[in-house]
Structure 1
Amino acid sequence: MQLSPVRSNALTVDVEDYFHVAAFDATVSPQQWEDLPQRVARNTEIILQQFATHQAKATFFILGWVAERNPELVRKIHAAGHEVASHGYAHAKASVQTAAEFSSDVRKAKTLLEDIIGAEVTGYRAPSFSIGKTNEWAFDALHQAGYLYSSSTYPVVHDLYGTPDWPQQPYRRKEGIIECPMPVLNKASKQWPIAGGGYFRLLPYWLSKKCIDSYLQQSDAPYMFYFHPWEIDPQQPRFAQAPLKSRFRHYTNLNKMEAKLVRLLKDYQWRSIREVYQPYFV
């Protein structure tokens, strides 16, 4: 398949603050969040400016906890023509919640976001791609809550998440939800994670671009990229007491991320999930 300069790709932002990340679950408790400096609004404003400059549209998976404290930011995202979607309310991994806890969390986030923007919210992404074989009931909970699609699985092997033997293409599940898995590159009999996040920060840009281009050549499915607002913020407070592995994953190349993101915005055309994946939603 020939690469097309006008082929649109899905750009997604998981809107959470630096202290919400799963890597710091054992370091910072939810009871401490309110007392920590909040930087998510500042960082998201910078992202919105970059998207406007480069005429990119995106899906913002917004944490309910963040939306509740920054409703004007949510309205600004919506008013700029981006898709507002749900990242749940409390950033609890679906894999550690009961079915009742999960259902309450995703319903609370959806209602909150819809009340803020005055429009329907149909997309959901689980924190840390935490829907898998042990909690497939989550898809039924999402369907019952009124969501249209989920982007909560990553078909790779990873120490924190991963559904390597699940579909790599968007598909409608028996529960009625359309699942849009994160893209992987099939090479050397392995599935390589190429959807952004920490890998994009850690790897040189030329290698990430090469992987994206290879994916676009081998797959007819859309390419989807994700990142977090805290990833462009090298001045964020540091948790020196966090495990070394967590600190390495979280803090490496924060000072390089915004420049790499700008290159990505220039090199590809970006739209929301609702626009790029529309053929799968009919």
Structure 2
Amino acid sequence: MSIKQTKICALTVDIEDYFHVAAFENNISASNWDAMPIRVDNNTSRLLDMFDKHGAKATFFILGWVAERYPQLIKEIHNRGHEVASHGFNHVKATKQTRIEFAKDVRDTKALLEDLTGAPIIGYRAPSFSIDKTNEWAFTELQLAGYLYSSSTYPIKHDLYGTPDWPQLAHLRPEGIWECPMPILNIAGKQWPVAGGGYFRLMPYWLSKRLIKRYIATTDSPYMFYFHPWEIDPDQPKIVGAPLKSNFRHYVNLDKMEAKLGKMLQDFQWQTLRQVYQPVFKI
């Protein structure tokens, strides 16, 4: 029996534009964002059509900044049967916010998205997976704000983020909120990322497919994939002056991403994070 018949995976999209990414935060001031050519609306609309074509549903973790400027886009995401969730307001890492700033950020974004959709917003993902041991209070603030789950940790070693010694499967935190870490594989004593993003663009599709199948076959937890709308946009403006590593991570294989994504949507069955994790959450 095929994976498509036996396992449903969680598809997630972080709705932000190319100039919002943390890799360029030292090159583009937030005060200049409105002067940048905006591409997130068109790229997200393309994704919605692609998902419809393949019968896929997704959870869209949306920046409040985007929702303020493109309210109809957020309503369309909701009306097409996808889950709308929060990605914070201005893509400020949780580790760079005070507790008071974070509490306001997640509450303001939740309120805006609920006003646009008319539905409860229960999910949150921190920009750049930026909840770790230094700010575990973030889970308390999410619970107090009315969120039910977070997907804000990545149990790998990385130069920009990572909680390698934290749980690798979905778990109920002491603060009363569910945390759904990004999926990893334990191979040869190391923790390997298999959740998408730049790793998916870098690897050949056959290898990504093999790793996803291995995760599904060997792990007692749903598989979850994530990416961004700018990753299907090879014609996006280039950011001048960014470090070489940041440039490589951001631009590698953008011209191949849409075709690889289409194959993945065809090879596996996709639903919202809330739907896939429903047996775990019991909500």
Q: Aligning the two structures, in what range does the TM-score lie when normalised by the shorter sequence?
A: over 0.9
Quick one: which amino acid aligns to residue 207 of structure 1? L
Quick one: which amino acid aligns to residue 217 of structure 2? Q
Shift of residue 2 of structure 1? 8.8
Runs of 4+ deviating beyond 2 Å: 1-6
Matched, 1:250 2:261: no
Task: Describe the superposition over 1:175-225 as per-residue Cα deviations: whole angstroms up to 9, x where unpaired.
Answer: 011000000011111110000000000111011111111111111200000
Shift of residue 76 of structure 1? 0.3
Shift of residue 3 of structure 1? 4.6
2: CA distance between counterparts of 1:268 and 1:76? 24
* Partner SS, residue 19 of structure 1: helix
Q: Match of 1:50? A: 50
Q: Match of 2:216? A: 216
Task: Spell out the pairing of 1:4-19 with structure 2 (5 A cutoff).
Answer: 5-19=5-19
1: CA distance between counterparts of 2:157 and 2:3? 28
2: CA distance between counterparts of 1:170 and 1:2? 24
Task: Spell out the pairing of 1:156-175 with structure 2 (5 A cutoff).
Answer: 156-175=156-175
Quick one: which amino acid aligns to residue 229 of structure 2? P
Quick one: which amino acid aligns to residue 36 of structure 2? L
Q: Match of 1:280? A: 280
Q: Match of 1:113? A: 113
* Partner SS, residue 5 of structure 1: helix
Shift of residue 4 of structure 1? 5.9
Q: Percent identity?
A: 65
Q: Match of 1:61? A: 61
Task: Describe the superposition over 1:72-112 as per-residue Cα deviations: whole angstroms up to 9, x where unpaired.
Answer: 00000000000000000010000111000100100010000
Q: Is the 8 A contact 1:91 1:127 kept in 2?
A: yes
Count of aligned pairs: 282
2: CA distance between counterparts of 1:4 and 1:271? 12
Could you tell me the TM-score, scaled by structure 1's length?
A: 0.98
Q: Match of 2:126? A: 126
Quick one: which amino acid aligns to residue 250 of structure 1? H
Please report the RMSD computed on the Cα atoms of aligned residues, expressed in angstroms.
1.1
Task: Spell out the pairing of 1:78-227 with structure 2 (5 A cutoff).
Answer: 78-227=78-227
Shift of residue 280 of structure 1? 1.5
Could you tell me the TM-score, scaled by structure 2's length?
A: 0.98
Task: Describe the superposition over 1:203-254 as per-residue Cα deviations: whole angstroms up to 9, x where unpaired.
Answer: 1101111111111111120000000000000010001211111110001111
Task: Describe the superposition over 1:10-39 as per-residue Cα deviations: whole angstroms up to 9, x where unpaired.
Answer: 000000000000000100010010100100
Q: Is the 8 A contact 2:7 2:216 kept in 1?
A: no
2: CA distance between counterparts of 1:162 and 1:169? 14
Q: Is the 8 A contact 2:99 2:138 kept in 1?
A: yes
Matched, 1:269 2:272: no
2: CA distance between counterparts of 1:174 and 1:29? 37
1: CA distance between counterparts of 2:134 and 2:240? 33
2: CA distance between counterparts of 1:177 and 1:220? 20
1: CA distance between counterparts of 2:270 and 2:248? 29
Q: Is the 8 A contact 2:106 2:142 kept in 1?
A: yes
Unpaired runs of 5+ residues, structure 1, are none
Unpaired runs of 5+ residues, structure 2, are none
